[in-house]
Amino acid sequence: MTDCAVILAGGQANRMGGGDKGRLMLGDQSLIQRVIERITPQVDAVVLNANGDIHRFDDLGLPVVADSIEGFPGPLAGVLAGMDWAAEQGHDWLISVAADTPSFPRDLAERLAGYDTPVVLAATPDAERGRLPQPTFGRWQVSLRHNLRAALNDGVRKIRQWTQAQGETLVVFNEGDFFNINTPEDLAWAEQNLK
């Protein structure tokens, strides 16, 4: 393993009524605790991307980096914050995972590392489109951070608008591998169905 990972928790969780969605409890653990447990064995180091008072995450024992682009521009800004941190730590590659998706594959990093394109994104099967990208789950070449910063400063917000320009590869996982929790109904479903 030579990759590090960023857990993207910088969103505003509007559909859940605001706050830190990753702190919601699923069984006896918070979503973010489940994500940390799942990604930590897959990489050499983990950083959390979050905005606001970073000390509210002190109990997790992870370094925390905020977006460097103002105005909550979305997950790409979290990826950039992770890339900047990864560069400081001497890593060439960054894995990104979402704080609201507690059951992503335990071999995510290994499978994404099997491709040599600068950006590799997870995807799931889709009956209509063939593949449905899961763009918050990816492997990013850290040297692209200057390009990404310029794109964000130019107003790019959609992940795939940028990743397609980098020659992305999509890796198909199983349907349901990336079930994310956006609403109270999603959390209730997860309580019944996720192990």
Residue carrying the six token digits 């992503």: 104
- Please give the order of strands across the beta sheet that includes 119-126: 64-65, 45-49, 4-8, 93-98, 130-141, 119-126, 169-172
Phi, psi of 36 (to 5 degrees): -60, -45
**158 marked as part of a ligand binding site:** no
pLDDT at 165: 95
pLDDT at 16: 45
pTM, rounded to two decimals: 0.92
**10 marked as part of a ligand binding site:** yes
Residue 122, both tokens: 């997870």
pLDDT at 73: 83
Q: What is the pLDDT of residues 34-46, one digit of tens each?
A: 999 999 999 999 9
pLDDT at 129: 83
Which candidate, 166, 160, 161, 99, places its Cα nearest to that of 134? 160
**49 marked as part of a ligand binding site:** yes
Q: In the chain, what are the domain boundaries?
A: 4-193
pLDDT at 15: 45
Q: What is the pLDDT of residues 134-159, one digit of tens each?
A: 999 999 999 999 999 999 999 999 99
**67 marked as part of a ligand binding site:** yes
pLDDT at 14: 45
Which residues, given as ranges, of the chain have pLDDT below 50?
1, 14-17
**9 marked as part of a ligand binding site:** yes
For residue 179, the one-letter residue type is: F
CATH number of the 4-193 domain? 3.90.550.10
**Residue 9 burial by Cβ neighbours in a 10 Å radius (0-12, 13-18, 19+):** buried
